[in-house]
Chains A and B, each alone.
Chain A
Amino acid sequence: MGGMRTAGDLVARVQMTKKLRINEAKKYVADKLKIDVKELSDPIIMSEVRSDLGFGIMMPLGGVPKGLECKFNIARVLDLDINCLNRFKTKAGLA
């Protein structure tokens, strides 16, 4: 699906954590992002969506969310439990 270029990493996260098959996982992500399923694989649309929501982009230059920052945004918008964020909160005394 193109990973961070589009929504592939997001769909994969949903498949892994919710054990959803591809069509259900795509619909889940599309509904959360308020876009059409077909738009999930379009790099033009998804680069804008990812930038707007702070999900991480292919060329993360200065000032844009990166790494863990993006994962917090992904977890919040997609309503996902991301394992490394739980660890971060524990280690940072935020849990």
Chain B
Amino acid sequence: MSKIITRLGDGSFIEMTEKEIREDIDAGITEAVENGEVPPLGQDEIEYLVDLFKREDRIVGVAPGKEVIMTYDAGTLKIKRHSLFEDRVNALAIYERLLGADTMELCHVDYSYKPLKPIVSYEVGTLEQALSVTHAPLFYGAMPNLGLYTQPDGPYPNPMELLPQGKIKEGRAAYDEMVGTAVEDIVFIAEAMWEAGADGINLDTVGASGDPDFKASLLATEHLVAKYPDIPIMMGMAGEYVLGMHGEMYHDGQRLAGMYPTDQLKIAEKAGVAMFGPVVNTNNTESTPWNLARTITLIKPASEASKIPVIANMGMGVGAVPVTDYPPVDIVSRVSKAMVELCRLDGI
């Protein structure tokens, strides 16, 4: 039986038979169905995935006319990460004129809302300059990153130290306070950037600190949309389910802990989010067929239920893309094509 070359979630090569690929696809779907309580993929979709991995082309793509937009979070940070010390305005010009970005994002290297407060006027100045010389839509973005609000970096006791001591009430009280302060910070920065002319605001890796992080992002979105009804807020999640760090945090009567992409999207849409980026985390030790089948099974129902554009997060370690600094194009193109075509995404 001939072998098919693909990769594991860590990017390393693996040879699999068609039977093994089918078994991994089934296993990935089963895991998604059991954990996410979503419908399984149909046989047509399974055959699509098997054929996709059997193809020998290094790079695959969608049919002409079926392209979707590609958004880029933290663009200016990523240019710097390659030791390319371009001024951020030039970095954005690189994104739009050399990389063909459909949207761009100005950000600071310290990519969280809290540390932006003391330097907001400098960020506004850079944004104004960038807006005057670029053409593609330009977001300003950062992460809510509620972890920064805990002592010693922040003002509040660290729930991760309180909870193991059995101080549940104190830990939750700390999270409640962190949410309030984080909302103030996110709104402060977002208002400044919108007033400066930004095309939109990105809340990145929402839920990274669990349900309090998601709560802060939803409240901030509601506040901003109430004040500026036309403001496009893009919300990109950190994980496929919301970790219950607080465990009893509710929004609109729904408990946030444990929410998977479909429920995350619905509550974000109701809060006023304009574009939603669901995430499914890549499992390093499983094959790409397993990871991709699981990702599509979890995200497809969210996309079907959505009234707003769904821009799935697909990058290092998410969206079935391997967890490596150098995502291989054979896998990136396959998973992108499958996600766009089977989940009917509006963008990546």
**Total chain B interface residues with beta-carbon distance under 8 A:** 41
Is A9 within 8 A of B102, CB to CB?
yes
Q: Once the chains bind, are B194 and A12 in contact (CB under 8 Å)?
A: no
A83, B194: Cβ atoms closer than 8 Å: yes
Q: Is A58 an interface residue (CB 8 A)?
A: yes
Select from chain A the residue with minimum beta-carbon distance to B346: A22
- B136 to chain A minimum Cβ distance, whole angstroms, is 4
Taking a contact as CB atoms under 8 Å apart, the answer to whether B67 and A15 are in contact is no
Which residue of A8, A16, A37 is within 8 Å of B199 (Cβ)?
Answer: A16
Q: Which residues of A contact B42 (CB under 8 A)?
A: none
Judged by a CB distance under 8 angstroms, whether B133 is at the interface is yes
Chain A 10-21 against B: per-residue CB contact (8 Å), 1 yes, 0 no?
011101110111
0/1 string, A54-70, CB within 8 A of B gives 1: 01101100000011101
Number of A-B residue pairs at CB separation under 8 A:
128
- Interface: B132 (CB within 8 A): yes
Given A38-B64, A81-B230: A22 in contact with B69 (beta carbons within 8 A): yes
Contact (Cβ within 8 A) B274 A16: yes
In terms of DSSP, what is the predominant structure of the interface of chain A? helix
Q: Which residues of B contact A5 (CB under 8 A)?
A: 100
Chain B facing A: main interface SS: loop
- Which B residues are CB-close (under 8 A) to A16? 103, 137, 199-200, 232, 234, 274-275, 309
Contact check, A87 vs B200: say whether CB atoms are below 8 A apart. Answer: no
Q: Which residues of B contact A25 (CB under 8 A)?
A: 309, 346
Contact B136 A4 (CB under 8 A): yes
Residues of A within 8 A of B195 (CB): 87
- Would you give the shortest CB distance from A48 to chain B, in whole angstroms? 17
For the complex, give the distance between the alpha carbons of A70 and B97 in Å.
14
Q: Which residues of B contact A38 (CB under 8 A)?
A: 64-65
For chain B, residues 170 to 209, give those with C-beta under 8 angstroms from any C-beta of chain A: 194-200
Residue B308 CB within 8 A of the other chain: yes
- Mark out the residues of chain B between 94 and 123 whose CB falls within 8 Å of any chain A CB in the assembled complex: 96-97, 99-103
Give B268 Cβ to nearest chain A Cβ, in Å: 12
CB distance from A79 to the nearest CB of B (A): 14
- A83 nearest in chain B by CB position: B197
Which residues of chain A come closer than 8 Å to B133, judged between CB atoms?
A: 66-67
Please tell me if B77 contacts chain A, counting CB pairs below 8 Å.
no
Q: Contact mask A81-95 → B, CB, 8 Å, 1/0?
A: 111111110000000
Is there contact, CB below 8 Å, between A15 and B275? yes
Q: Contacts A17-B230, A84-B197, A87-B195: A67 and B135 contacting too (C-beta < 8 A)?
A: yes
A84→B309 CA distance, assembly (Å)? 22
Interface string of A39-54 (1 = CB under 8 A from B): 0111000000000000
What separation, in Å, do the CA atoms of A9 and B70 have in the docked complex? 9
Residue of A nearest to B193 (CB): A83
Is B131's CB within 8 Å of the partner chain A? yes
Residues of chain B within 8 A (CB-CB) of A22 are 68-69, 309, 345-347
Say yes or no: B135 contacts A71, CB within 8 Å: yes
Interface string of B221-252 (1 = CB under 8 A from A): 00000000010101000000000000000000
Q: Could you list 23 examples of A-B contacts with CB < 8 Å?
A: A1-B102, A3-B96, A3-B100, A3-B101, A4-B100, A5-B100, A9-B102, A12-B347, A13-B199, A15-B347, A16-B103, A16-B234, A16-B274, A16-B275, A21-B308, A40-B65, A67-B133, A68-B132, A82-B199, A83-B197, A84-B132, A84-B198, A85-B197
- Residues of B near any A CB (own CB < 8 A): 64-65, 67-71, 96-97, 99-103, 131-137, 194-200, 230, 232, 234, 274-275, 306-310, 345-347
Shortest Cβ-Cβ A-B pairs, 4 listed: A84-B197, A8-B102, A56-B135, A9-B136
